[in-house]
């Protein structure tokens, strides 16, 4: 239906996340052609057996002379207009396709073609997302007792990755963030060889992939007793994050939800210390639509899954972020995570 509405006779999917979402194929080399009632997965020799094992809804073709040559062979009903994902293909590949197919079919660039469809999760997707979240929560409970002065940020990050796989995850959904003290003021800090010091706040942002679906969660904990100011900032972020969950409703704009939480932090004088968006969609990709930001025009709907993750960052001093992934139901938002958001003192 969407292809017809876009006046496309066929569509070449190049985004590997979309290909996995549509077919289950998890290899690193693939293109998917959708034309009429046919779906053809093109991959290379390395994935011959894997494609046969994972793919049920598409024919698998092992390409030898390259995709452009394969498509120009006349074996596939491309029709008059072939859509290509302009946001998931290199300029070089697009030029090759245009140059090869120009005489037989029109190549039409499309962007964000599957975003609306991927935003709303079905029951199986929600089950996988919940399992991914549960695995990461178990891992976080395992690693918190390991945060002590003799350990480093890298030690904890490595343990997170190891335990994710031990508990059945495919991999991390992103490199774990473990940042203590002044480094916690960097929202995307890379773990370092720095040791933990008593009196520091530690930000741990982590997630895993289970059955192709991602999790994402952040908790900020204290190593021993921390200052009154740190506790105050933590309380502001905790309150703002709770407000975001309580106020999320079907039919509201994503920008409105972002504004509700941002205004609460600004009321305390820390508006400029919260510089990133409130959240993002989670699914096959750990960052996908809907984007929960001041610039988003998305309308939030039932069974959308996204994060709510406000933070306050004081450069050179410390930072606090609390993040849950929530599923939006008809009566409100429900976090996939269940761990406490009260400040834990290790």
| 250-298: pLDDT as tens digits | 999 999 999 999 999 999 999 999 999 999 999 999 999 999 999 999 9
pLDDT of amino acid 36: 81
98 lies in the same domain as 129:
no
pTM of the model as a whole? 0.94
Rounded distance between C-alpha atoms, residue 150 and residue 152, angstroms: 7
pLDDT of amino acid 336: 98
Query: At a CB cut-off of 8 Å and minimum separation 6, what does 160 contact?
Result: 139, 140, 143, 172, 176, 178, 204, 206
124 lies in the same domain as 109:
no
205 lies in the same domain as 72:
no
194 lies in the same domain as 268:
yes
Q: What domain count does the chain have? A: 2
Structure tokens at 186: 């960097």
Q: What CATH number is associated with residue 200? A: 3.90.230.10
98 lies in the same domain as 246:
no
Residue 344 lies in a domain: no
Rounded distance between C-alpha atoms, residue 199 and residue 228, angstroms: 11
106 lies in the same domain as 137:
no
Residue 346 lies in a domain: no
Q: Structural domain of residue 285, as residue ranges? A: 119-335
pLDDT in tens, 132-157: 999 999 999 999 999 999 999 999 99
56 lies in the same domain as 196:
no
330 lies in the same domain as 207:
yes
User: Would you give the DSSP letter of residue 46?
Assistant: G
Residue 340 lies in a domain: no
Show which of 113, 136, 171 is a domain's final residue: 113
Q: What CATH number is associated with residue 91? A: 3.40.350.10
């Amino acid at each position: 239906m969407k292809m017809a509405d876009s006046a496309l006779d066929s569509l070449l999917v190049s985004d590997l996340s979309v290909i996995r979402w549509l077919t289950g194929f998890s290899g690193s080399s693939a293109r998917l052609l959708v034309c009429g009632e046919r779906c053809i997965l093109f991959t290379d020799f390395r994935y011959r057996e894997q494609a046969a094992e994972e793919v049920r809804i598409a024919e698998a073709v092992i390409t030898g002379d390259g995709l452009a040559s394969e498509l120009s062979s006349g074996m596939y009903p491309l029709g008059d207009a072939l859509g290509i994902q302009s946001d998931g293909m290199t300029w070089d590949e697009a030029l090759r396709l245009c140059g090869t197919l120009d005489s037989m079919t029109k190549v039409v660039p499309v962007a964000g073609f599957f975003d609306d469809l991927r935003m709303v999760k079905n029951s199986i997707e929600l089950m996988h997302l919940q399992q991914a979240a549960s695995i990461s929560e178990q891992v976080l409970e395992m690693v918190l007792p390991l945060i002590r002065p003799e350990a480093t940020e890298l030690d904890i990050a490595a343990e997170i990755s190891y335990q994710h796989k031990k508990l059945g995850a495919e991999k991390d959904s992103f490199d774990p963030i473990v940042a203590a003290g002044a480094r916690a003021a960097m929202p995307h800090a890379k773990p370092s060889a720095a040791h933990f010091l008593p009196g520091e706040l530690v930000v741990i942002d982590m997630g895993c992939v289970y059955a192709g679906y991602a999790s994402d969660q952040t908790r900020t904990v204290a190593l021993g007793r921390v200052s009154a100011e740190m506790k105050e900032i933590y309380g502001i972020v905790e309150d703002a994050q709770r407000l975001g969950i309580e106020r999320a409703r079907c039919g509201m704009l994503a920008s409105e939800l972002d504004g509700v939480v941002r205004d609460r932090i600004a009321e305390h004088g820390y508006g400029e210390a919260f510089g990133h968006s409130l959240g993002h969609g989670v699914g096959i990709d750990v960052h996908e639509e809907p984007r929960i930001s001041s610039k988003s025009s998305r309308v939030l709907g039932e069974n959308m899954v996204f994060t709510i993750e406000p933070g306050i960052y004081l450069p050179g001093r410390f930072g606090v972020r609390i993040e849950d992934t929530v599923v939006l139901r008809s009566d409100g938002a429900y976090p996939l995570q269940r761990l406490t958001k009260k400040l834990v003192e290790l």
